[in-house]
Amino acid sequence: MKALIKKLVESWGPSGYEYRIRELIRAEVQGLADEIAVDPLGNLICRVGDGETTIMVAAHMDEIGLIATFREPETGYLRFSNLGGLNKTTLFGNRVRFEDGTLGVIGAHDSWNAQSDLNDYYIDASSGNGDEPVAEGSPAGFWREMEARGSRLVAKSMDDRIGCVVAIEAMRKLKQQGGKLPNTVYFAFTVQEEVGLRGARTAAHGINPDVGIALDVTGTGDEIKNRKMRVKLGGGAAIKVHDPGLVVPPAIRKWMVDRAEQDGIPYQLELLTGGSTDAAAIQTAHSGVPSGCISIPCRFIHTTSETVDINDVQACVDLLAGLVSNPVKLD
């Protein structure tokens, strides 16, 4: 699984430009799904089984990025805008990679001012040969290789390539188990989550599921003087209770908790006070879809050093596979 994580997190795919990462995922799921399609917005939709209850599982392929908006005529430095939620305190000195492979370094007019406006930053993508290798309008993703530290994996774009890994590995586990599924499961690898949950919204309307499950990262409460929450790295799969975009129906939460307990899967309950997931979009499709979220605990979200624990990832895989391979009971 580590090799798959490395492949996906190091891939290029800012919001709206997911075609490279989509093809990598498509290659991984060939032979694991009964049907594979790409919808008009670019979501990769994989159907497994043909049972009575339709479950939609969503993990977003896109990553936080930026787009070059203007080249300074004298210096050639590139001004840029965000594709998703940039953390300005992490920008200075960071590296970005454009689609053609050009590497850029982010500079700032006042690098010591944590309150700098985005307009104070620029990208140096010069080659030293007097050429202008990057055109205005070019998107870029942040660049950093994945590193392992024991069971901890550190990389850019764990948000949400690690959710994509959970979906792929659950599909692989279902294939290995064999037999007929009691549900029809649509694994949706969605686009443009970081800019407004756009892919999940259109995919949910196309799939029209009975139940929705999002796979995404969540913050942890085990950092010094950080947010107050019970989720910790190494504590198991995080079953969402609430976030600003989603009030999880009690029946969905109970369904997930009961499965984790029956299968002996370590879990923890997640109450997130900032941010949301694809489940917030799925729940409002058509006349409404009861939706929940399996979250992967992650430190340093929206940086190039997002950190997860491989044991938590495995717990999420096992929980997801257990949920979709058994009849859905929402009491």
Whole-prediction pTM? 0.96
Residue 113 predicted with pLDDT over 80: no
Note the pLDDT of residue 115: 66
Would 80 be classed as within a structural domain? yes
Would 263 be classed as within a structural domain? yes
Would 149 be classed as within a structural domain? no
Note the pLDDT of residue 290: 98
Work out the number of other CB atoms within 10 angstroms of the CB of residue 68: 22
Would 329 be classed as within a structural domain? no
Mean pLDDT of the chain: 95
Number of domains in the chain: 2
User: In the chain, how long is the greatest CA-to-CA distance?
Assistant: 67
- Domain end residue (candidates: 142, 168, 196): 142
Same domain, 230 and 84: no
Closest C-alpha to 36, from 180, 163, 196, 168: 168
C-alpha dihedral, 286 to 288 to 289 to 292, nearest 10°? 130
pLDDT per residue over 258-282, tens digit each?
999 999 999 999 999 999 999 999 9
Same domain, 133 and 182: no
Q: Which residues of 100-137 are buried (b: 16+ CB within 10 A; e: fewer)?
A: eebebebbbeeeeeeebeeebbbbebbeeeeeebbeee
C-alpha angle 233-58-227 in degrees, rounded to nearest 5: 30
Closest C-alpha to 280, from 229, 243, 330: 243
For residue 319, give the amino acid letter.
Answer: L
Same domain, 71 and 55: no
Residue 6 predicted with pLDDT over 80: yes
Same domain, 80 and 135: yes
Would 253 be classed as within a structural domain? yes
Q: Which residues are catalytic?
A: 193
DSSP helix/strand/coil, 10: coil
Question: Sign of the CA dihedral 262, 244, 25, 8?
Answer: negative
For residue 266, give the amino acid letter.
Answer: P
* Tokens (6 digits) for 118: 């985005």
Helix (H) or strand (E) holding 176: helix 158-177
d(CA 88, CA 86): 6
Would 257 be classed as within a structural domain? yes
Residue 178 pLDDT level (bands cut at 50, 70, 90): confident
Residue 25 pLDDT level (bands cut at 50, 70, 90): very high
Domain CATH for 11: 3.40.630.10
Same domain, 163 and 260: yes
d(CA 246, CA 290): 10
* Tokens (6 digits) for 98: 């454009």
d(CA 111, CA 193): 30
Same domain, 207 and 288: yes
Same domain, 165 and 94: no
Bridge partners, residue 85, by sequence: none
Q: In sequence order, which residues have a C-beta less than 8 Å from that of residue 18 and are 6 or more positions away?
A: 42, 61, 62, 191, 192
Residue 111 predicted with pLDDT over 80: no
- Domain end residue (candidates: 111, 142, 173): 142
Domain CATH for 122: 2.40.30.40
Same domain, 229 and 241: yes
Give the whole-number percent of the chain exceeding pLDDT 70: 98
Same domain, 188 and 255: yes
- Domain end residue (candidates: 107, 142, 177): 142
For residue 124, give the amino acid letter.
Answer: D
Per DSSP bridges, beta strands 152-155 and 306-309 are antiparallel
**Residue 171's domain spans which residues?**
2-63+156-324
Same domain, 126 and 163: no
d(CA 123, CA 106): 4
Same domain, 82 and 207: no
Same domain, 117 and 171: no
Residue 114 predicted with pLDDT over 70: no
* Tokens (6 digits) for 29: 């799921």
Calculate Rg over the CA atoms of the chain. Answer: 20
Would 151 be classed as within a structural domain? no
Q: Which residue has the tokens 């029809």?
A: 184
Would 148 be classed as within a structural domain? no
